[in-house]
Structure 1
Amino acid sequence: MSFSSELDVHTELSGAAVGRSHRILGVLITLITMFDGYDTFNPAYVIHYVMEPWGLMPSQAGLLVSSGLVGFLVAAVCHGMIADRFGRRGTMLAGLWIVNVFTLLTAVFASSFLSFCALRFMTGLGLGVLLPLGTTFINELAPQRVSNKFSLWGVTLGWSLGGVFAGLVGVFLTPLYGWQILYYVGALSIPLTFVVHAVLPESPKFLAARGRFDELRALLTKLRPERSAVYQSASFRSPQQAAGWNTIGALLTPRYRRVSLTIWGTAFLTLFAIFGLTGWIPTVMIKRGETFAASFGFGALMQATSFIGGLTLATLADRNLGLAPRYLATWWIIGGLAVLSLVFASGHGFNLAIVAVAGFCIIGAQHVLNNFTAGSYQTDFRASGVGMELGVGRVGAILGPYVIGLLQQATGGPDAVFWAIGGAAIVGGLAIGSLGIRDAALPAANTIPAEAR
């Protein structure tokens, strides 16, 4: 068959209707990222129970929250090279098993500040795989016209539900069974892993890039059954060059450098704001006069409104992909200003409204940034691109809870917390807003740029 008659996998996927196989994948990724979100926000509810028994200063409590994020950072940066070379599916399964084992070990053996942090670090090595690869899977399988909304339903819904679930367990079960119950419940991810092993396919774009055409035909037949006869005898266009190990270098070639650096800077600032806020919101709200149950409920409220905010933003971005950076900027600036308003006013109703807006705007926009990042790079280094975005962002996430703890320790009150979080969100919004329409719609390329090989 001549080159002109070869099928392009991207075109085939883009033209697909959202069918049963897409929905199964969406549900599967939702469940995976639900446990990611659940596990990520657990430490915010542990702080209340261990600060006095373990004799922790606020800055140490911040490190307790950040310890898992350090492992997340290492995995998010490194997993992309593995996933881009050996496949998305196997890397996802490895990450799930790491989370399974060390979540259970945390419940059983974490009895001090050091043991808890060490086990959280190891758990983070698995968590750092789940969210980036979930985003990559969605981006490479969903029709492009609905990729942002599909990502919100497949990735963000799960992550937000996990945060809500962590809040519910924190409010209703930890007073009865202690903080360890958070991790016993988290170990329910083990049976999910067996389901993922049986059901999760390899990415079709990765199969095409590696010349695994028999597997690709079978997968495309499931995704587009109306074209099954075409796929039986079709040949497929594949990249001329397979991905090398220097996929990180590809992100900094002249063609991608400005976009990459802007995305990394934005992710650093916004995840600083998100994890500083979510890690401390229960404790800070207790200081502002809220009850125990209400304070723990604020975390669940933020996760719930983050999905609504992300879905609203994704709908706008899908209508005009080129304006996605401007929409992201608007969300973060509004969210940052809302958090800053907590410096000047208080009251239960006001606290609820502002926390809801912060979740809607600040966390909701982050989910769309993840998909925007995935869509900015080629298949050969897409997982590395998402991994680097979340990896650099996790430096901000690590510093967020720690710096917030230091600020509370230094000032004795929450006002400095709100200045830091609101300011970071606003600057992050201004940074991503600096990208123009041309930057948001990079032309496609078939291979890693020559200068990165």
Structure 2
Amino acid sequence: MGSGNEVDIHQELAGAAVTPLHKMLGVVVTLITMFDGYDTFNPAYVIQYVKQPWGLMPSQAGFLVSSGLIGFLFGALGHGMVADRVGRRKTLLVGLWIVNVLTLATAIFANSFTSFCGLRFLTGLGLGVLLPLGTTFINELAPPRVSNAFSLWGVTFGWSLGGVFAGLVGVFLTPTHGWQVLYFVGAASIPLTLLVHAVLPESPKFLAARGRIEELRALMVRLRPDRSGVYANATFRSPDHAAPKNTIAALLAPRYRRVSLTIWTTAFLTLFAIFGLVGWIPTVMIARGETFASGFAYGALMQATSFIGGLTLATLADRGFAPTPRLLGAWWIVGGIAVGSLLFVNGHAFNFAVVAIAGFFVIGAQHVLNNFTANSYETGFRASGVGMELGVGRVGGILGPFVIGFLQQVTGGQQVVFWAISGAAIVAALVIGSLSVQSKATEASVAPAE
């Protein structure tokens, strides 16, 4: 693992056992992404309460969801360039404080379509930091042999759990306390931010790339106490470099161009489908004859099954069952077909089963795509890579609720919801699956120098 007192940071992290510090950091990231998931999905439960008082057309109702995603887009695209220069920890903390303040402001001051959407946009700037940096943290801390599973437990479980909590608050508290209670509950992220200040270290790979050796030694002793004697006077060698001046150009360099463009296209389509689902399924199911409570419960159901689907897919990927792009394609094809079947059948049991399947396959696969993206780039621009994937994807997420609302307005029915979501998922499957046609070449082209 190096010669003399020089050690390779990537080999050291790869050889680490999963320590209590790994687990503690996993729990912290889980809590961070839980509030991200909660805040991302709760606008879907606002629509039912405000569309009549605020006199909203379906396309405007969809924009209640999309407005936060527009802010997320700018936050996700911009944060990577900041995090690759000043550090993951500082950037994450700034994002958390933005979410804290604006979530509370939404509960108190959002009393119209314009004020709600404006505050959601500003909140999205902070939300755009949390999920990408959570994914980056996990992939720079967890041993690569368990990175998919660790990411699913450390990032996806929290995000999915947040979506479930949004559904539960929507079902049980909003009828009595109004939609504002969603955001008063969300302000519980403030104590979490204080905890993050106290316990979250900087990423070891970032410290190595920036030459911050004393901080790195102290952190590596905690991550690999069995090697503490080696680290006392060690220098650290990392094949990665500090962030390039133009991280977007690095993502589009010949080595990464095909993978980057494929990932961005896929993320655009899948997040169009996902946010179309979570934004409209509660309202559409109520229109199909479901009760108010069961209609809202479908949102929570999708988040619960998405974690199970993502964990299943991550396990298959970690065990080398098939190339990750091929597995992702299979998940989205099955999910797309399932959503399409709602065009032909409407019954409570059938609706329940299909929504569960949609969460398992359509949303579950997205979590593994995020991890695949993080593993596709080197440390110097990894945060930018994940940020670009989620940023471009959020363009699809922005358009999903809005376009589907507009199409309902034009056609006068809900059937178009299922056509649009099913089609986007199936096309995404074909796009990402194209990477597995030459899987060996793809693996060589995307493997970072670690």
| Structure-1 separation of matches of 2:195 and 2:324 | 35
Instruction: State the match for 2:6 in structure 1.
Output: 6
Shift of residue 443, structure 1, vs aligned partner: 5.8
Contact 1:102 1:119 in 2 (8 A): yes
Q: Over aligned residue pairs, what C-alpha RMSD do you find?
A: 1.3
Q: Does 1:32 align with 2:35?
A: no
Shift of residue 4, structure 1, vs aligned partner: 7.2
Instruction: State the match for 1:131 in structure 2.
Output: 131
Matches within 5 A, 1:42-441: 42-239=42-239, 241-320=241-320, 323-436=323-436, 437=439, 438-441=441-444
Shift of residue 320, structure 1, vs aligned partner: 1.6
Structure-2 change in CA distance of 1:440 and 1:427 (3 Å): farther
SS in 2 for 1:320: coil
| Structure-1 separation of matches of 2:79 and 2:351 | 39
Q: TM-score, normalised by structure 2?
A: 0.97
Residue by residue over 1:57-100, the C-alpha shift from the partner in whole angstroms, topping out at 9 and shown as x without a partner, is: 00000111100000000010011000001100000000000000
Contact 2:148 2:315 in 1 (8 A): yes
Contact 2:41 2:166 in 1 (8 A): yes
Contact 2:316 2:322 in 1 (8 A): no
Contact 1:3 1:237 in 2 (8 A): no
Letter in 1 for 2:179: W
Contact 2:240 2:378 in 1 (8 A): no
Contact 1:79 1:91 in 2 (8 A): yes
Residue by residue over 1:359-400, the C-alpha shift from the partner in whole angstroms, topping out at 9 and shown as x without a partner, is: 000000000000000000000000000000000000000000
Instruction: State the match for 1:442 in structure 2.
Output: 445
Shift of residue 237, structure 1, vs aligned partner: 0.5
Contact 1:152 1:367 in 2 (8 A): yes
Contact 1:301 1:355 in 2 (8 A): yes
Q: TM-score, normalised by structure 1?
A: 0.97
Letter in 2 for 1:305: T
| Structure-2 separation of matches of 1:5 and 1:197 | 32
Letter in 2 for 1:306: S
Shift of residue 234, structure 1, vs aligned partner: 1.2
Contact 1:321 1:440 in 2 (8 A): no
Letter in 2 for 1:225: P
Contact 1:85 1:244 in 2 (8 A): no
Letter in 1 for 2:57: M
| Structure-1 separation of matches of 2:110 and 2:447 | 48
| Structure-2 separation of matches of 1:202 and 1:55 | 47
Shift of residue 327, structure 1, vs aligned partner: 0.2
| Structure-2 separation of matches of 1:241 and 1:162 | 35
In structure 1, stretches of 5+ residues that fail to align are 448-453
Letter in 1 for 2:421: I
| Structure-2 separation of matches of 1:10 and 1:283 | 48
Task: Identify which range, 255-264 or 433-442, moves more after superposition.
Answer: 433-442
| Structure-2 separation of matches of 1:377 and 1:153 | 21
